[in-house]
């Protein structure tokens, strides 16, 4: 997610908990599209290996997972409290499944430290996304406010580490 989409998600959670606002005329969607090389690489990402991937394979497979998660985030439109309650739990579950899928990839030694940071922060983002729903349902703004700082820190670290390591899709949140 871009910082704007994350901020919008956090702001939406805060506003919905305060105002209990109604629906939107915009369509809600949680579908994704993944085509071409990304789809093929995503399918290949689930293949297990006994040893580490080479650098090119790691970048391709890691980015394929990130591409799919970015597309999922980007396609999730939240316009009402009902959308929030309906769409955030599945999004959080997909984020967590993506982090678990990432953790199964064995990076080459040169990417090991970076990949561990990416996976760790991806799990953090998934867990915090899941908490949004709980906090919004409880109308608990005190608990939802620190989410911005947690998410920003995790996103910044993923973006910096991934970019430095050579990842493209993992280096941006959309």
pLDDT for 20 equals 35
What value does the mean pLDDT take over residues 28-57? 55
pLDDT at 9 over 60: no
For the chain, the average pLDDT equals: 75
pLDDT for 83 equals 81
What value does the mean pLDDT take over residues 106-128? 94
- Dist. CA 30–CA 128, nearest whole Å: 19
pLDDT at 50 over 70: yes
pLDDT at 36 over 90: no
pLDDT, greater one: 105 or 34 = 105
Poorest-confidence range of 3-7, 27-31, 48-52, 132-136? Answer: 27-31
What value does the mean pLDDT take over residues 99-104? 96
What value does the mean pLDDT take over residues 39-54? 59
The closest of 97, 91, 107 to 58, measured between CA atoms, is 107
Domain ranges of the chain: 3-16+37-171
pLDDT for 78 equals 80
Residue 76: HSE in the Cβ half-sphere, 13 Å Cα cutoff: 27
Work out the angle at residue 114's Cα, subtended by the Cα atoms of residues 38 and 68, and round it to the nearest 5 degrees: 20
Stated pTM of the model: 0.70
């Amino acid at each position: 997610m871009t910082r704007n989409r994350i901020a919008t998600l956090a702001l939406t959670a805060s506003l919905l908990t305060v105002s209990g606002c109604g629906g939107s005329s915009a369509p809600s969607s949680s579908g994704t599209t993944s085509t071409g090389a990304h789809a093929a690489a995503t399918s290949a990402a689930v293949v297990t290996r006994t040893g580490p991937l080479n650098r090119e394979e790691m970048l391709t497979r890691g980015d394929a997972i990130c591409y799919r998660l970015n597309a999922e985030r980007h396609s999730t439109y939240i316009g009402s409290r009902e959308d929030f309650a309906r769409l955030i739990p599945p999004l959080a579950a997909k984020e967590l499944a993506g982090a678990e899928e990432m953790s199964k990839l064995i990076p080459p030694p040169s990417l090991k430290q970076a990949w561990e940071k990416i996976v760790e922060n991806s799990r953090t983002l998934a867990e915090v996304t899941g908490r949004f729903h709980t906090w919004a349902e409880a109308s608990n703004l005190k608990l939802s406010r620190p989410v911005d700082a947690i998410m920003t820190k995790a996103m910044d670290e993923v973006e910096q580490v991934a970019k430095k390591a050579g990842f493209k899709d993992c280096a941006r949140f959309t």
